[in-house]
Amino acid sequence: ETGVTQSPTHLIKTRGQQVTLRCSSQSGHNTVSWYQQALGQGPQFIFQYYREEENGRGNFPPRFSGLQFPNYSSELNVNALELDDSALYLCASSREAGGLGEQYFGPGTRLTVT
């Protein structure tokens, strides 16, 4: 079975711009979660999608939004980029309902906002 993939690998954007990050879940997984990891910190939960519906959200503003598609792939959209949005963005997929089973992470997308 294929693992979790993310695209692009690296991205440089200017403050105020919008960005879309993509994630393909591991085969057979119906839940995807997105995390933001600032340098030297642990990942912070952004939100989770289960069967195309948002299933929980962390302390992130509404300019962070997401989608999950019928094939369980997912997008993270960030509007009005700020310098503090520079981070490694990780997605994780899970087979268990609600995402409570083992989480499998992708390699991440490194976003730099200048």
Partner 1 sequence: KQEVTQIPAALSVPEGENLVLNCSFTDSAIYNLQWFRQDPGKGLTSLLLIQSSQREQTSGRLNASLDKSSGRSTLYIAASQPGDSATYLCAVASRGFGNEKLTFGTGTRLTIIP
Nearer to partner 1, 8 or 56 (CB): 56
Q: Report the C-alpha gap between 114 and 105 in whole angstroms.
A: 27
108 binds partner 1, rule: CB under 8 A: yes
Residues 20-49 that bind partner 1 (CB under 8 A): 33, 35, 40-45, 48
Q: In 25-100, at which residue ranges do the beta strands (DSSP E only) sit? A: 31-37, 44-50, 53-57, 64-68, 74-78, 87-94
Nearer to partner 1, 13 or 58 (CB): 58
Q: How far apart are CB 16 and partner 1 at their closest, in Å?
A: 26
